[in-house]
Amino acid sequence: MIEKTYLKTKPKCKVKFALSADMIGDGQNVSVVGDFNNWDASAHPLRKQKSGVFASTLNLEIDHTYQFRYLIDNQYWLNDDMADAYVPSPLSQDSNGILSL
């Protein structure tokens, strides 16, 4: 799930990335990685909420398009069904999600 909230006072958008527990399965550690954090798995971990959902909110620049994916336990990649579009990954046969702000 992706929620976008555009800020009125800054050229930024608060983007909430969230995954339900059933999407993660037995995973313990989930991160959102993308070109906004140089694909660094340690930069933006999703935190487990009381509801069981893993979530994190980032402030990202508007008028940009970002590629991203989720990384579970540093092993498994997952795309978000709510991505604005998908493009082929330059590193594998998979696709990366696109976030347009």
Domain spans of the chain, in order of start: 2-100
Residue type, 91: L
As a whole number of Å, the end-to-end CA separation of the chain is: 15
- For the domain spanning 2-100, the CATH number is 2.60.40.10
Tens-digit pLDDT profile for residues 23-50: 998 889 999 999 999 999 999 999 999 9
18 pLDDT band (50/70/90 cuts)? very high
In one-letter notation, the amino acid at residue 48 is: K
| DSSP character at residue 71 | E
